[in-house]
Amino acid sequence: MSLSTKYNPAAVEDKWYTYWNENDLFHAKPDPNKAPYSIVIPPPNVTGVLHMGHMLNNTIQDVLIRKARMEGKSACWVPGTDHASIATEAKVVGMLREKGIKKSDLSREDFLKHAWVWKEKYGGIILEQLKKLGASCDWKRTAFTMDPDYYKAVIRVFVDLYNKGYIYRGMRMVNWDVEAKTAVSNEEVIYKEDGEKSILYSIRYKVKGTQDEWVIIATQRPETIMGDVAIAVNPTDERYKKLIGQKVLVPFINREIPVIADDYVDKDFGTGCLKVTPAHDVNDYEIGLRHNLPVIDTIDDNGTLNEKCEIPKFVGQDRFVVRKQIIKDLKAADHLVKEEEFVTRIGRSERTNTVIEPKLSLQWFLKMKEISSKAYQAVEKDEIKLHPAKFKNTYRHWMENVRDWCVSRQLWWGHRIPAYFYGDGDEDFVVAESLDEAILLASKKSGRKLTATDLHQDPDVLDTWASSWLWPIEVFHGFNDQYYDKANGKVDRTHNADLRYFYPTQVLVTAPEILFFWVARMIIAGYEYMDEKPFEDVYLTGIVRDKQGRKMSKSLGNSPDPLDLINKYGADGVRTGMLFRSEE
């Protein structure tokens, strides 16, 4: 047999990868005669396709796992995908729109049928692409965050944390994505590095009972003035002391609102007078609580103004359309004093890029301070080592300033919150793993015999991260009935051979931008349910950039298609190139 004069990487790589896979050479089992070595893949979204960041991240993982395999260890690299609530729902809504179907015209059950069809068709693409990259994952262990057992685990943990007093339901100011129509966490709000241009509008409000006395406020958001309930000034500001306690009139609607004193107001910003709109600003909401002010929510979930704005022509109009129009109206009515351009931080949704709307909303929250303490100490004491070590400071800052986690999302695709309501009262609900259990609990709590028809389940789903934080435990089925101690809220690995052998994993390779989103929360879950860290080391990769130092992305058009590179140079050629350049 003659050798080819030219090396064909695709033919050779496909041949050997198929052989290795078919002969289970990537499959690992507990072996008392071998040392364990395990890695769990950061599960890519089912909406995802391979990009240069995946190439770097998964090449590093593959190097580590192949090295361990060559050293005679039982090397287990667990692959899988994340259901990605917001991203997947957006894809499905887009697919339906192309077919002339609106989500609002479908029942929840019918929408989820479409979602599962989409997931089965497109959800595995990135895993097949990882095979082209040569990733030696244990494909028999492939997991998905909405597999039946995984789904049950997520619900089980929610119930457990509720029973432990960590989860509560409350009306709080949240970050609202008007495009996805859901709350998002603080960590899912992004800001442009150099800020964004905005305009500060100085608007005058007439002092009640005077002929020509005015108070001038400065605001970026004139479309919210119809929700104003007070004007705040700093109590030490001599310019406005005589106004404290007087009333002013909101332009156009002439609502009487008080002038109040509050230390929050910065005397040197704008005019030193702050319009207080508790429904549409986090800081204003806090001022409103301190002064017992009413809340007038003039913006609906989709970002349009509602009847509470009291101006009929604005009802149903988008907030930014109203901004343009109300500025014209303020000019015409001689209420607009001046406009100043400045640069500021504008929060945008990580998923949809829409400008976040601060909104008062009834949501589910997880108390983070107490449950995070062990995870904080684990990194402080180097029980878990971060590489590069500089990220320890980032981790410390986040953990020392941790806020309660809003875990509910107003979506249909995801793990539905297991709260069942039986009445109209604030406390007329129970939290249970199943409807049958909920009926028993609700009957006991209400003091009357209830049936399934008397209960309705919360329509919201859980934040995606509230499922993936269980990843290192649940990929080894830690929350299955035979391993989970329901009474104590702990995983008992005594009879789970995989967990005993492969947990904790050796290293997590991931991106620094999800250090808090995912890494910190996995550590929290590990100590809460296993009383042990989920991994020994965390390697935080660099960012793949172009010649100009910009992050490679499809939106910038500066990123090559990894599959094209593989077809041209072979998987090993591309992988080696990535590794050689990753130190620069």
pLDDT of residue 561: 85
Position 554 pLDDT exceeds 80: no
Q: For the residues 476-487, what does the mean pLDDT come to?
A: 96
pLDDT for 532-548, tens place per residue?
A: 999 999 999 988 888 88
Task: Tell me: pLDDT of 557 over 80.
Answer: no
pTM of structure = 0.88
**Residue 320 predicted with pLDDT over 60:** yes
Residue 182 falls inside a structural domain: no
Examine residue 168 and state whether it is found in any structural domain, yes or no.
Answer: no
Mean confidence (pLDDT) of the chain: 94
Q: What is the pLDDT of residues 67-118, one digit of tens each?
A: 999 999 999 999 999 999 988 998 999 999 999 999 999 999 999 999 999 9
**Per residue, what are the HEC states of 337-385?**
EEEEEEEECCCEECCCCCECEEEEEEEEEECCCCCCHHHHHHHHCCCCE
Percent of the chain with pLDDT over 90: 82
Give me the pLDDT at residue 67, please.
97
Residue pair 411/460 in contact by the 8 Å Cβ criterion? yes
CATH number of the domain at 521, please: 3.40.50.620
220 and 286, same structural domain? Answer: yes
Q: Is 391 a member of any domain? A: no
Q: Is residue 257 part of a domain?
A: yes
Same domain, residue pair 117 and 202: no
Question: Would you call 548 exposed, middle or buried from its count of C-beta atoms within 10 A (0-12, 13-18, 19+)?
Answer: exposed
Q: Is the torsion defined by CA of 354, 356, 357, 361 positive or negative?
A: positive
* Domain contains 147: no
Res. 302: pLDDT tops 70: yes
Residues 242 and 116 in one domain: no
pLDDT tens across 324-381, in order?
999 999 999 999 999 999 999 999 998 789 999 999 889 999 999 999 999 999 999 9
Alpha carbon distance, N-terminus to C-terminus of the chain: 44
Residue in the block written with tokens 């983070």: 368
Write the CATH number for 262. Answer: 3.90.740.10
The pLDDT of residue 482 is above 90: yes
Average pLDDT, integer, range 299-305: 96
One domain, residues 114 and 220: no
Same domain? For 224 and 341 the reply is: yes
Residues 6+ apart with CB under 8 A from 390: none
Are 108 and 200 in the same domain? no
State the pLDDT at residue 138: 97
Residues 112 and 225 in one domain: no
The domain boundary, picked from 346, 366, 390, lies at 346
Q: What is the pLDDT of residue 388?
A: 95
Q: Could you tell me if 324 and 210 lie in one domain?
A: yes
Structural domain includes residue 498: yes
pLDDT tens figures, 148-180: 999 999 999 999 999 999 999 998 889 999 998
Q: Return the pLDDT at 562.
A: 86
Structure tokens that stand for 437 in this block: 């259990």
Q: What is the pLDDT of residue 471?
A: 98
CA-closest candidate to residue 357, choices 310, 302, 410: 302
- pLDDT for position 546: 82
CB 167 within 8 A of CB 407: yes
Question: Rounded CA gap, 553 and 10, in Å?
Answer: 26
Q: Which residues contact 544 (CB under 8 A, 6 or more apart)?
A: 52, 53, 55, 56, 551, 552, 559, 578
User: 163, 160, 134: which is closest to 61 by C-alpha?
Assistant: 134
Q: Is 209 exposed, middle or buried (0-12, 13-18, 19+ CB in 10 A)?
A: exposed
Mean pLDDT for the stretch of residues 187-200: 89
The confidence score (pLDDT) of residue 49 equals: 84
Cα distance between residue 265 and residue 275, in whole Å: 10
- Same domain, yes or no, for 221 and 83? no
Number of structural domains the chain divides into: 2
Q: How many other CB atoms are found less than 10 A from the CB of residue 290?
A: 12
**If 0-12 CB within 10 Å is exposed, 13-18 middle and 19+ buried, where does residue 532 land?**
middle
Domain boundary among 302, 317, 346: 346
Structure tokens belonging to residue 43: 């599960």
**32 part of a folded domain:** yes
User: Which residues are within 8 A (CB) of 308 and not within 5 positions of it... i.e. 6 or more apart?
Assistant: 226, 227, 296, 297, 298
Q: Are 116 and 231 in a shared domain?
A: no
Q: How many CB atoms lie within 10 A of CB 447?
A: 6
Rounded mean pLDDT, 31-38: 97
Instruction: Answer yes or no: do 197 and 323 share one domain.
Output: yes
Please give the residue range of the domain that contains residue 133: 9-142+463-581
* pLDDT of 584 above 70: no
Query: Residue 243 pLDDT > 70, yes or no?
Result: yes
Per residue in 424-453, pLDDT (tens digit) is: 998 999 999 999 999 999 999 999 999 999
**pLDDT single digits (tens) 488-534:** 999 999 999 999 999 999 999 999 989 999 999 999 999 999 999 99
Residue 525 maps to a domain: yes
Confidence of residue 6 (pLDDT cuts 50, 70, 90): confident
Residue at a domain's end among 346, 381, 402 = 346
CA gap 528, 520 in Å, rounded: 12
Distances (CA, A) of 428 to 147, 169, 410, 446: 31, 12, 20, 8
238 and 134 both lie in a single domain = no
